[in-house]
Amino acid sequence: MPGNRNRSGKAPKDGQTHGEDSNTDINLVDESSPIIQAFKQYQNELDTKHDKHERLVKLSRDVTLESKRVIFLLQRIAGGTDENKNNVLKEADTKLQAIQDDHFRKIALELDGEDPYQFLKAYTAGMQEYIEAVTFFQYHKDQSLTNHLTIQRQLQFTQNCPTDETSNSTLPNVENPKLPKLDIQDQPVKPLDSASCESSYHDSQISAIKTIEVLVTPLDYILGVADLTGEIMRLAINSVKTGNANFLFQLCDFMREIHNAFISFGNIHREIRRKLNVLQQSLKKVETACYTLQIRGSEIPKHMLADVLSGKTMDGPVYRDFDQDEPQDQ
């Protein structure tokens, strides 16, 4: 009968109903097959990787939030007294230490035994914001720029490794050690050397502590320093309200040094080009402020000087946009 035929036009075999082929195929899958077991292992590895990536992203967001709070705190130094500056620096130092201990230590534990470059994109945003906060803090402290190696050392932590039960016990009695029973009789037994026992004990104690770290790549450091110039520009404009012209010119010289270092790079990353364009715009604002203050500073009242400089900062030469030659991502 036509109603008993399948899609191919052939009649089903005797005793076979529709859908029986698929059920039979499912029942024929051998769960103990090496291929099935291998794919289950791949599934577990991918799930573990994705879960770790999500945890790192959340930690990176926390680092970004806390670092921004440190930056906002440091901006309050402009125009304050020396006592206020010391109090703000002390509070900022405490917050930076908390970021290292509470967040970056967890990131280091997540990356322990993993390829750090595999999860670099998960925490690179928080790392750049942290570098910006650390370098901004260091400049307020002694007008210097924190180098890459110093930041890397700040993100190194010591971790206690789990040891066996014998590591917490006292030294064994080397004079009368408990030897295991030998299956072969009349086999000579050499007495244990006390020096070797003590040496192995101390080796186990030393191996119980290891160093873990969060990788700080040179690219993240450079991008973080580029973001620093934006905060230096805000600090320069805010410092004008206090009438401290020398500090404004000092900030301008500092930004010029960073700018000269950036333009000395050759074939650079696309992200660095974008940051360099922003850096040049910030430097242009500070240079224009210095020019206005030097030429017309005596004509403008101090309480109006900051507003005038903020309105004049967009005048002057326009820097070349380095992103014009960059192909746009579709």
Between residues 322 and 124, which one has the greater pLDDT?
124
Between residues 318 and 155, which one has the greater pLDDT?
155
- Give the Å distances, CA to CA, from 38 to 34, 43, 45, 209: 6, 9, 11, 35
Where do the CATH 1.20.58.200 domains begin and end in the chain?
217-330
Least confident window among 44-48, 112-116, 265-269: 265-269
Q: For the structural domain made of 35-162+206-216, what CATH number should be given?
A: 1.20.58.190
Between residues 2 and 104, which one has the greater pLDDT?
104
Between residues 6 and 263, which one has the greater pLDDT?
263
**The predicted structure's pLDDT at residue 6:** 56
- Give the Å distances, CA to CA, from 107 to 53, 63, 146: 10, 10, 22
Residues with Cβ within 8 Å of residue 234, at least 6 apart in sequence = 75
Is the model's pLDDT at 318 over the cut of 50? no
**How large a percentage of the chain has pLDDT more than 90?**
42
Is the model's pLDDT at 237 over the cut of 60? yes
**The predicted structure's pLDDT at residue 231:** 93
**The predicted structure's pLDDT at residue 321:** 41
Residues with Cβ within 8 Å of residue 229, at least 6 apart in sequence = 255, 258, 259, 278, 279, 282, 283
Between residues 133 and 187, which one has the greater pLDDT?
133
pTM for the complete prediction? 0.71
**The predicted structure's pLDDT at residue 324:** 45
Say if domain 217-330 classifies as CATH 2.40.50.100.
Answer: no
- Region 19-36 average pLDDT: 67
Is the model's pLDDT at 330 over the cut of 50? no
What's the pLDDT band for 72 if we cut at 50, 70, 90?
A: very high
Where do the CATH 1.20.58.190 domains begin and end in the chain?
35-162+206-216
**The predicted structure's pLDDT at residue 171:** 42
Reported as a single tens digit per residue, the pLDDT across 147-206 is 999 999 999 998 877 655 444 444 444 444 444 444 444 455 455 454 444 444 445 445
What's the pLDDT band for 328 if we cut at 50, 70, 90?
A: very low
